[in-house]
Amino acid sequence: MSGSPSVARAWFPRRVLPGFGLSLGFTLLYLGLIVLLPLSAAFLRTAGMTWAEFWETVTSPRVVASYKLSFGGSLLAGGLNAFFGLIVAWVLVRYSFPGKRLVDALVDLPFALPTAVAGIALAAIYAPTGWIGALFAPHGIKLAYSEFGVLIALTFIGLPFVVRTLQPVIENLEPEIEEAAATLGATRAQTLVRVIFPQLLPALLTGFALAFARALGEYGSVVFISGNMPMRTEITPLLIITKLEQYDYRGATALAVVMLVASFALLLVINTLQKWSSRKTRAT
């Protein structure tokens, strides 16, 4: 029996938190109260509609146009943030330059800035009379109060997610790997594509998913710069707010359910790709 404690520790290693059953119970309870319960309320409210009413509500031309703008703009903004966020994260990790801490702090500005303030600031800058908008207005390019304005706002609020996700991964990449690739005759492009990018891909997909999810639910910054023109620059969250103001709670929850299901499906696909790329990276 003298060896039984060591055997027990081997089979049941000591954990900082309580046992699996208790910890799992707290986890499920917390997620149920904070996440599942509010979401289930939306489904229950929509259940009071007939299928014909639900389908008519979620497929009206105005609503479909808002879907295209919300999902299309969020995907495009996530892609832009994935590309430029990778460059920003790489520069902040691998290079030293004057004002680096200031630039690093500016990345987090969309986190701290209220979305309404961000929308007002973006509208003032990109309006036809603003600093940047005035440069494009003479060429007939309208940034604010157009689809471009929606894209600008969604890109602005999503950049920190990509940068902060990539930074720790880049910090763990040894510069010796790049030197070894160069010694073996690899060009910079080959080193980037075959050596560095596969190791960054899982984190890049995670950052893209976070930026996409954040953009999909954005409201405050978009309504000030988009112009909110039906069939053109009206996003789905704005339609949901409009229906709530009109006391059309079933219609609002119907749109919310569609957004929820569609966004969950897209995030599930992205997370599946992330896990697949992680396994592939570890295997190589």
Render pLDDT for 26-64 as a digit per residue (tens, 0 to 9): 888 888 888 888 778 778 878 778 888 889 999 999 999
Predicted pLDDT of residue 281: 65
Q: What is the pTM of this model?
A: 0.83
When comparing pLDDT for 138 and 185, which is higher?
Answer: 138
Q: How confident is the model at residue 126 (pLDDT cuts 50, 70, 90)?
A: very high
Tell me the pLDDT of the chain averaged across its residues.
85
pLDDT tens digits, one per residue of 223-260: 999 888 889 999 999 999 988 888 888 899 999 999 88
- CA–CA separation, 157 and 112 (whole Å): 10
Predicted pLDDT of residue 8: 47
Considering only 73-77, 88-92, 254-258, 262-266, which range has the smallest mean pLDDT? 262-266
33, exposed or middle or buried, with CB in 10 Å at 0-12, 13-18, 19+? exposed
**Length of the chain measured in residues:** 284
CA distances from 207 to 60, 137, 174, 264, 265 (A): 33, 33, 21, 16, 17
The token pair at 190 is: 């080959």
Concatenated DSSP letters for 127-158? Answer: STTSTTHHHHGGGT---TTSHHHHHHHHHHHH
The token pair at 10 is: 């081997």
Helix axes 147-172 and 115-126, enclosed angle (nearest 10)? 120
Tell me which residue has tokens 């029996």.
1
pLDDT tens digits, one per residue of 62-84: 999 999 999 999 999 999 999 99
Tell me which residue has tokens 């023109």.
229
- CA–CA separation, 63 and 230 (whole Å): 9
What domains sit in the chain, N to C, each tagged with a CATH number?
A: 1-47 (no CATH), 50-283 (1.10.3720.10)
Predicted pLDDT of residue 82: 94
- Of 67, 59, 6, nearest to 266 by C-alpha is 67
- CA–CA separation, 55 and 254 (whole Å): 9
- CA–CA separation, 236 and 284 (whole Å): 42
Q: Which DSSP helix (H) or strand (E) runs through 85?
A: helix 61-94
